[in-house]
Amino acid sequence: MKGNKSFKGSMLLAMTAMLVTLTACGGNSGGNGGGNGTDGANATSENNGAAVPDNGSGTGNDAAGNDAAGNGGAAANDGGGTDAPAKAPVTIKLEVNSTQKDFENTDVYNEIKKQTGVTMDLQTYDEEKFKVELASGDLPDVFQVPNKYLAQLIDGGNIIPLDDLVASNGPDISKPLFQKSLSYSKQFWSNGTGKLYVIPVQVGQAGWGFDQQTGFNVRWDYYKELGFPAVKSVDDMVNVLADMVAKHPKTADGKKVYGTAIWNDWGTWGLNSMGMIVGSGAVANNYTDVPNSGFWQTAEFLYKAKQKGILDPDAFTAKYNDIVTKASQGTLLNSAATWPFQAVNAELLKEGPDHGFVTLPLDWGFAWVGGSTVAGWSDRAWAISSKAKDPARAMDLINFLSSEQGSRLIASGIQGVHWDLVDGKPRMKPEIVQLAAAGGDAYKKTGIGMFANQQGLTDFTALGDGSVVNLFNTPEVFATKVNSLNKDYDDHYGATYPAEAYKKNADAGKVLTLDVVPQDVQAAMPAPPDDVKRIQTKLDDLITKGIPDIVLHAKDDADYKKKQDALIKKLNDAGADKYWTWYMQAFNDTKAKFE
């Protein structure tokens, strides 16, 4: 959002996700669209090597790399760029947030290589590996910078200033479209030097995609079977899932079915996830302000699920891919996002026209969607290593990925192959829309949407041809994407596409969105000093170990409250108040710079 926009009531703050985000995130130490690492103010957290939620743009990727809304991306105004590259081929090592190495075997990857002459040797960001790389100075040529390491990278001379390279090799980045983002980067992400060290990604306005990807995601046919019960609270969520499990206690092959679980390999994303659904966005100490804390909202949900006997025993150990596996096996009925259920949805549709997982459109709480940012997705900005073998060619690649042409390619595919001009207007090819709806390996081979964490412009950015970056996010495609599951859902809620059901509640003021979150302010906040970092590390350790212990071992509500109070005392003793005092001062000081 604009830095000078006034905040309603108390200040508001991005809650969680990532990214990725997710984002998708992810997930991530900064979620898709806002947040400073895994701080205690409902910010985002790392989702190492996994897909992330997006910033409402509908490009969150699942673990297989498939776009969560069937989205894609391709060339913009020049016909998709079919000319051979003028420069000699070169291989550049890239460390990227969330995107997996299997992107290298796709059509979009090959088109990027064709357009730039650059072969991208991809590796997915992993926090522990990155720490080793940073300590040794052996960093990849190009990488996406986690915000919390930016000052260290600059002080250590590990990354180079990009001002001259943008002037010589960044014609698209130099356009007015990116000027506010570059100025922002120089002001807030230069460690006080005023130089350009990182190039933001996913800059611009976000919006509602085809479906709402983060939320209370459940089996639609099971929900119908229950008579569409109202979901007005966390208790209602748990009761709906418990009733589903009661009616469907085992899979067809005899496996036990559970109601819910979280994944635990995206830092604190899973433990914060209910804040993306039932939260308010209010500034709050995420460690100790129980009513407004994503941690404690998630803990309450999981505790109540445990008391009902529907919490997966792997709830606190499962990784993202484990959740995908459980979804495909039919042993899990809920997660905080649609991504793990994408693959199984294609299979469930073969069993019945209304079979599959959907996000119920709550008429309360928070929806992780919308907003606008010049900072882009936090923890994904591009940097070039001081040891890069060919910085100029590295900037050529970043420029292409940031451009209108590159962003369209990433989000919509290749012109003439995946989309084309119809009556002078860009349109996705019907067969590609159908392929996206079907999912699976054939669609994954296109590579559409798999590099969303790396595209320069948001899906909803209007390009020079008058259409948005992501051509899947158009009324024409929405109309064709509706399958039997979507239609049944749409008919029930009086919508024309799934996300519209949630959007109506947001438009009516019943649901808060990222429009009330100061994303650029949060992303501009300085890294905490070392003493505060140590406190934060201790707090995260206490909360990530303490909540599972409470959820799994509390005998009843009274015992839960007793254990909760004991953990909060430990958090306060460890410096939660000191951390929060620093955080609010930093937030207010940063906010003042935008006014």
- pLDDT in 10s for each residue of the chain, 595 residues: 323 322 222 233 333 333 333 333 433 222 233 333 333 343 333 332 223 333 333 333 332 333 333 333 333 333 344 444 568 999 999 999 989 999 999 999 999 999 999 999 999 999 999 999 999 999 999 999 999 899 999 999 999 999 999 999 999 999 999 999 999 999 999 999 999 999 999 999 999 999 999 999 999 999 999 999 999 999 999 999 999 999 999 999 999 999 999 999 998 999 999 999 999 877 789 999 999 999 999 999 999 999 999 999 999 999 999 999 999 999 999 999 999 998 899 899 999 999 999 999 999 999 999 889 999 998 999 999 999 999 999 999 999 999 999 999 999 999 999 999 999 999 999 999 989 878 789 999 999 999 999 999 999 999 999 999 999 999 889 988 889 999 999 999 999 999 999 999 999 999 999 988 888 999 999 889 999 999 999 999 999 999 999 999 999 999 999 999 999 999 999 999 999 999 999 999 999 999 8
User: Could you give the CA distance from residue 357 to residue 326 in angstroms, rounded to a whole number?
Assistant: 13
- Are the beta carbons of 19 and 453 closer than 8 angstroms? yes
The token duo for 390 is 């060919």
Q: Other CB atoms closer than 10 Å to residue 322's CB: what's the count? A: 19
Query: Three-state SS for 96?
Result: strand
Q: What is the pTM of this model?
A: 0.78
Question: What is the pLDDT, as a whole number, of residue 197?
Answer: 98
Question: What is the pLDDT, as a whole number, of residue 67?
Answer: 34
Q: Which of 140, 202, 184 is nearest to 402 (CA)?
A: 202
Q: Other CB atoms closer than 10 Å to residue 475's CB: what's the count? A: 9
The token duo for 214 is 């983060």
Strand pairing class (142-145; 90-96): parallel
User: Could you give the CA distance from residue 338 to residue 62 in angstroms, rounded to a whole number?
Assistant: 8
Strand pairing class (204-205; 118-124): unpaired
User: Could you give the CA distance from residue 184 to residue 399 in angstroms, rounded to a whole number?
Assistant: 18
- Are the beta carbons of 275 and 39 closer than 8 angstroms? no
Q: Residue 414 to residues 105, 115, 154, 583: CA-CA distances in angstroms? A: 15, 11, 37, 45
Burial class (CB in 10 A: 0-12, 13-18, 19+), 7: middle
User: Could you give the CA distance from residue 50 to residue 410 in angstroms, rounded to a whole number?
Assistant: 18
Strands of 321-471, DSSP E: 335-337, 357-359, 372-373, 381-384, 419-422, 425-428
Could you write out the DSSP letters of every residue in 54-69? Answer: -SSSS--B-TT--BTT
- Are the beta carbons of 528 and 582 closer than 8 angstroms? yes
- Are the beta carbons of 359 and 129 closer than 8 angstroms? no
- Are the beta carbons of 85 and 58 closer than 8 angstroms? no
User: In which residue are the tokens 């804040």 written?
Assistant: 275
Q: Residue 363 to residues 58, 216, 230, 288, 508: CA-CA distances in angstroms? A: 20, 12, 10, 27, 9
Strand pairing class (118-124; 90-96): parallel
φ/ψ (deg, to 5) at 351 = -90, -20
* Beta bridge pairs of residue 335: 217
DSSP state of 370: -
